[in-house]
Structure 1
Amino acid sequence: MDPRAFEALFARVSNWGRWGADDQRGTLNLLDDETRRTATASVRSGVTVSLSHELDTHSGPDNGRPALHYMTQQADVGDGEPRVNTDFVGVDFHGKSVTHVDALCHCSFRGQLYNGIGSADTVDSRGGRFGTVDQLRDGVVGRGVLVDLPRAAGVGWLEPGSAAGPEDLVAALEAQGTERRPGDIVLVRTGHRRRRTEVGPWDPSDLSAGLAPESMEWLHTTGAAVLGGDGDSDCRPSPVESVDSPIHALALTAMGLPLIDNVNLEDLADACSAVGRWEFLFVMAPLRIPGGTGSPVNPLAIL
């Protein structure tokens, strides 16, 4: 896709001004009280599935900035009772390893954030003052839908470099018998983690399966509230000339659509396949990080 076609697509999916010139929530506005209440009908068995990976403290080709974890106090040292064990955890969560949510201030395009707000005017060394992760402080609760692309294609995973178009998403939903509704939290499985487990880690910054830019127009017209992927939703190499992460630009900047990256979808895919149902109650809350551009998360699917 050439830059001119991409900018036309950006304009078509833009939600700038849709919920007001000062809006910082974007498509989270689609998750109102009634949508959340209706989503509880997706719970049937009550089985819960974690959608997060463990924090990886080991360096690798897809984890150049591993998490830190060490003990700061141990109960076998010291006087008095009771004694305690305490630890420190530090994480540079943006990247290809940690399950995290991107706030709308995470990504700018042509110097602008969502709703046309200047990035340089609202984000500095102290953090952001617009579209920060604090906009998600009350949690993300709604109807979750898993789109299992490898299952529909009859393969273990999509090969790195593959770009799934809207027709692929629709075909997967039809194969599952799943209906899309406005306000859905859409989780797209490419089989990234299964490939990593069976083949070994690689650097997805250079080569990864993801969504074609045209898929974002389908997500826009069908009213997705949040998008998550088992990678970072971007296909690499980028299919758009001079735009490294077109899905991030279209989602976060044009649509105001929060992204959840590196979601663990393998256990969920197995659980959904076992019951023949790919919809569930989705629950997620970020850490309260003042000015934060995102947060590590442990989303839950409740079947």
Structure 2
Amino acid sequence: MSDTPPEPHNWGRWGDDDQIGAANLLTPDVVKAGAGAVARGRVLSLSLPIKGSTSSNAPCTVPHLRGRPLPQHFMSIDGGDYLAGAKPPAGLSIADDALIVSPHGTTTHMDALCHMWNGSRLYNGHDSARIRSYGALRCGIEQLPGIATRGVFLDVARHRGRDILDPADRITAADLEAMCAAAGVTIGAGDAVVLRTGWTKQFYRSADTYWGGEPGLATDGALWLAERDVVAVAADNSAICGLNAQGGADEDLDGDIHMIFLWRHGIYLMEMLWLEELAEAAPATFQFVVAPLKIVGGTGSPINPLAIL
């Protein structure tokens, strides 16, 4: 077990105190170039819905990983009064919300740089002992204001002539190169790459198949993207990488996709996106905008990514 990552990595690249990683690549020119990718002025949400209640199976109707606590959504109008006893004026009705969400594996979300690490050091060498039960004191999700940049859409399923990839399918560097060449796109520093496998749709066809492994990015594909200085990688599966039938990754630590992106390079990961409307529109590039909730010390956050075409 090593406290320092293998080369290549971004530790120290933006200073010893850096906690935002590849977000440092979002220079004014990069942000403005992302806005320049807007052609039609159409806005698409890339998020799954959050459904939850204590009296229905609503949370189970949205893709999620088994064993994770499902979202819970309570409405005060149903009798759970979250107004602390306040009485509204006569004739006025108020509906209020309380929402409990564990984002990893249960909804569209972004991983913070403190989400996974190896040894005793987080991204950029920060001490992992600063991860406490009350939150992460280094590299928490609140460190990232948000991302506004050019999105590059790579529909892997369509590239392979499929609607949904098979669970054993892996997205290689050769796949990424071929798709970029076909689209006439060169991935550049600060881009956000969005990968469609079609896997979110699989849940609605067969939840058991959805839970029996999933397609995803291969190690050489992850290294290829990291080499191009992307700020984020987003996908419609639950782990960016592929998963085996037991729900685990087959790569060793040096080849683990989360280790390559989060720990070694400070590249953000966004999982469980809904990409079907984006696939219908089929843009090669677009403006990608997303912001996490300011959860102090959070290892991740629910998000609603936007594609502005």
Q: TM-score, normalised by structure 2?
A: 0.86
What is aligned with 1:59? 60
Query: Which deviations, in whole Å up to 9, do the C-alpha atoms of 1:227-284 show, x marking residues without a partner?
Result: 111112011122324x499111111101111111111111111112xxxx32100111
Counterpart of 2:287, as a letter, is: L
Structure 1 position 51, deviation (Å): 0.5
Structure 1 position 13, deviation (Å): 3.0
CA contact (8 A) 2:113 2:263 kept: yes
Moved more, 200-209 or 181-190: 200-209
Cα distance in 2 for residues equivalent to 1:22 and 1:280: 32
What is aligned with 1:239? 250
Structure 1 position 203, deviation (Å): 6.9
CA contact (8 A) 1:184 1:225 kept: yes
Match of 2:267 among 235, 253, 257: 257
Aligned pair count?
286
Cα distance in 1 for residues equivalent to 2:169 and 2:130: 35
Please give the residue correspondences for 1:262-277 in structure 2 after superposition, counting only pairs within 5 Å. Answer: 262-272=272-282, 277=283
What is aligned with 2:84? none
Structure 1 position 43, deviation (Å): 0.6
Match of 2:136 among 121, 124, 128: 128
Please give the residue correspondences for 1:181-220 in structure 2 after superposition, counting only pairs within 5 Å. Answer: 181-197=188-204, 199-202=205-208, 207-220=213-226
Deviation >6 Å, runs of 4+: none
Structure 1 position 151, deviation (Å): 1.0
CA contact (8 A) 1:13 1:250 kept: no
Identity over the aligned pairs, expressed in percent?
34
Cα distance in 1 for residues equivalent to 2:65 and 2:142: 28
CA contact (8 A) 2:14 2:21 kept: yes
> Structure 1 residue 298 and structure 2 residue 304: aligned?
yes
> Structure 1 residue 13 and structure 2 residue 8: aligned?
yes
Residue 36 of structure 1: SS of its match in structure 2? helix
Structure 1 position 289, deviation (Å): 0.9
What is aligned with 1:70? 74
CA contact (8 A) 1:101 1:261 kept: yes
> Structure 1 residue 109 and structure 2 residue 118: aligned?
yes
Name stretches of at least 5 consecutive residues in structure 2 with no aligned partner: 53-58, 80-86
> Structure 1 residue 282 and structure 2 residue 277: aligned?
no
What is aligned with 1:26? 21
> Structure 1 residue 36 and structure 2 residue 20: aligned?
no
Cα distance in 2 for residues equivalent to 1:62 and 1:258: 20
Cα distance in 2 for residues equivalent to 1:78 and 1:220: 54
Query: Taking structure 1 as reference, are residues 135 and 194 closer, same or farther at Cα in structure 2, changes over 3 Å only?
Result: same
CA contact (8 A) 2:199 2:210 kept: no
Name stretches of at least 5 consecutive residues in structure 1 with no aligned partner: none
Query: Which deviations, in whole Å up to 9, do the C-alpha atoms of 1:162-194 show, x marking residues without a partner?
Result: 221110111122233333222101111111112
Cα distance in 2 for residues equivalent to 1:298 and 1:166: 28
> Structure 1 residue 143 and structure 2 residue 150: aligned?
yes
Counterpart of 1:118, as a letter, is: D
CA contact (8 A) 1:234 1:245 kept: no
Residue 154 of structure 2: SS of its match in structure 1? strand
Please give the residue correspondences for 1:211-230 in structure 2 after superposition, counting only pairs within 5 Å. Answer: 211-230=217-236
Q: TM-score, normalised by structure 1?
A: 0.87
Compute the RMSD of aligned alpha carbons.
2.3
Cα distance in 1 for residues equivalent to 2:75 and 2:143: 32
Query: Which deviations, in whole Å up to 9, do the C-alpha atoms of 1:23-65 show, x marking residues without a partner?
Result: 1111111111111011111111100000100014323773542
CA contact (8 A) 1:183 1:224 kept: yes
Cα distance in 2 for residues equivalent to 1:99 and 1:83: 32
